[in-house]
Amino acid sequence: MTHVAKKAGASPATAPVRPGLLAVLVLLAVLTGCSGTGSIIGGKPRSPQEAIRIIPADRAEDVRADSQVEVTVPDGRLESVRVRRIEDAREEEVRGGIAKDGRSWAPNEGAGRLGLAAKYSVDAVAVDGGGHRSARHTTFTTVVPADRFIGYFKPENRSTVGTGMIVSFEFNRPVTRRAAVERAIRITADPAVAVAGHWFGKDRLDFRPAGYWEPGTEVTVDIGLRDVEGAPEVYGSQRKTVRFTVGREQISRVDAAAHTMEVRQDGRLVSTVPITAGSPTTTTYNGRMVVSEMHDVTRMDGRTVGFGGEYDIKDVPHAIRLTESGTFLHGNYWSDEDVFGSTNVSHGCIGLRDVQGGSGSSPAGWFFDRTLIGDVVEVVNSKDKKVAPDNGLSGWNLTWAQWKAGSALH
């Protein structure tokens, strides 16, 4: 048998290739072509980080609210950019646009600051000058402020209220940037009516129209306080929508001298009720007051409103709050029946005849059952001053011009 010797230095092209080695080479070629960084044909492509540059950096933390989101490419063009804010299990698109030359993306003008305590994601696709397509996904989170403020508001969501309802916010921290906070609360009505805000000090903001609401009005309160800077380094935390409906009109006029209360609904007199108002030494405020709370029964202790131990009644029936300082319209079972309609004996409240435990058929029970939060009670002919506009929801005692003068937006 004759053996043919292989010459040293023979060309690899003439050498046989083992089947196993051929399979490995094919597999490497396939993997390289599907790596997401481009094809091996035409030269080495850039990495996604080189092809698409994104600010803030991927996985950056404590990003300031005034930072800018920027997406750029050194060459080629951007095909698409999507920026999302992920917060409280909700996603919100950050609107923006790609420049005409295709080299950069930026948020739309007026997009505002980044949200605080939020996560953002950025997804971008670009094609470079060599025709290689690259995609990049990054995320970052914004700084969590140390100090937050919230507003406690009236009325409740989905409630039906009287035509005198005033939308009132009490903030848990002093507000020094009042215009920004007032602008972030938007109130609309159907049918439409102008609504203005009025500040009482640094922690209370009320809203009302020029006159009482029309019955049947649907009111929407959009609270956009989240991330609003109410004071230096103090940011709001609320973003929600509240809606309420205005019911029928009920305006009750208490004549302290005549010891009567005329109850009118939609302009029609429905009843004249005998009352007892504040005594000559503890008179009742004059002016327009708005029902802000209603209790079937409550305790009234004179020590809580500056009357020492003069009274402590643990079961006052049918109690309707009119002022923050303690003026109520309530049932009275402890006074003689003949004082109602003839004598003023209270400590400043308005009393209607009732029985212990309350009765729906008593004058107090009858009025309670027909009253809504937001109804108006006006007191006249009392030997006292007019109630302060910030004592409860008493802002109707200001003219429309006076009311608008208290807005931070005028």
Of the residues 259, 318, 330, 347, only one is catalytic, namely 330
Boundary-marking domain end, from 107, 142, 177: 142
CB 54 within 8 A of CB 74: no
187 in the same domain as 96? no
Three-class SS of residue 76?
A: coil
Tally of structural domains, the chain: 3
Q: Is 326 helix (H, G, I), strand (E, B) or coil?
A: coil
* pLDDT tens track for 74-120: 989 999 999 999 876 678 899 999 999 999 999 998 778 898 888 99
Which residue, 247, 267, 299, sits at the end of a domain?
Answer: 247
Query: What are the C-alpha distances in Å from 338 to residues 254, 344, 353?
Result: 18, 11, 10
Please indicate, yes or no, if residue 409 is contained in any of the structural domains: no
The reply to whether 403 falls in a domain is no
Q: Report yes or no: 359 and 235 within 8 Å, Cβ to Cβ.
A: no
Q: Tell me the one-letter amino acid at 50.
A: E
Question: What is the pLDDT confidence band of residue 51, given thresholds at 50, 70 and 90?
Answer: confident
pTM attached to this predicted model:
0.76
Which is nearest to 320 in space by CA: 246, 361, 374? 374
Query: What DSSP string runs through 41-62?
Result: TTSPPPPHHHHSEEESPTTEEE
Q: Which two tokens stand for residue 184?
A: 């972030």
How far apart are the C-alpha atoms of 137 and 119, rounded to whole Å?
13
Residue pLDDT, tens place only, 116-139: 888 999 999 999 888 889 999 999
Active site residue 259: no
- Any idea what the CATH number is for the domain that residue 353 is in? 2.40.440.10
Return the SS3 of 23.
helix
Print the domain residue range for 228: 147-247
**For residue 242, which of 147, 161, 148 has the smallest C-alpha distance?**
161
Active site residue 3: no
Q: Is 12 within a domain?
A: no
> What is the per-residue pLDDT for 26?
38
One domain, residues 300 and 243: no
CATH number of the domain residue 115 falls in:
2.60.40.3780
Question: Are 370 and 321 in a shared domain?
Answer: yes
Q: Are both 171 and 262 inside the same structural domain? A: no
- In this structure, are 163 and 255 located in the same domain? no
What is residue 263's predicted lDDT score, i.e. its pLDDT? 98
The answer to whether the beta carbons of residues 384 and 285 sit under 8 Å apart is yes
The band of 305, judged by pLDDT with boundaries at 50, 70 and 90, is: confident
**Same domain as 274, residue 384:** yes
Q: Please tell me the distance from the alpha carbon of residue 182 to that of residue 223, in angstroms, as a whole number.
A: 10
Distance CA 86, CA 123 (A): 14
Least confident of 42-56, 152-166, 200-214: 42-56
Q: Which residue among 132, 259, 318, 349 is the active-site one?
A: 349
pLDDT tens per residue across span 133-186 = 999 999 999 998 889 999 999 999 999 999 999 999 999 999 999 999 999 999
In a domain, 350, yes or no: yes
Q: Of 80, 109, 142, which residue constitutes the final position of a domain?
A: 142
- Check if the beta carbon of residue 198 is closer than 8 Å to that of residue 206: yes
Same-domain check for residues 373 and 292: yes
| Domain shared by 313 and 207, yes or no | no
Q: Can you give the CATH number for the domain in which 183 is found?
A: 2.60.40.3710
Domain for residue 92, yes or no? yes
Task: Specify if 334 maps to a domain.
Answer: yes
278 and 305, same domain (yes or no):
yes
| Same domain (yes/no): 391, 261 | yes
Judge contact between 37 and 47, C-beta under 8 A.
Answer: yes
What's the CA gap between 345 and 335, in Å, rounded?
9
Which backbone phi and psi does 35 adopt, to 5 degrees?
-75, -10
User: Residue 90: inside a domain, yes or no?
Assistant: yes
Q: Are residues 236 and 203 in the same domain?
A: yes
Residues 316, 330 contacting (CB under 8 angstroms): yes
Q: Is 209 in the same domain as 311?
A: no
Give a yes or no: residue 346 inside a domain.
Answer: yes
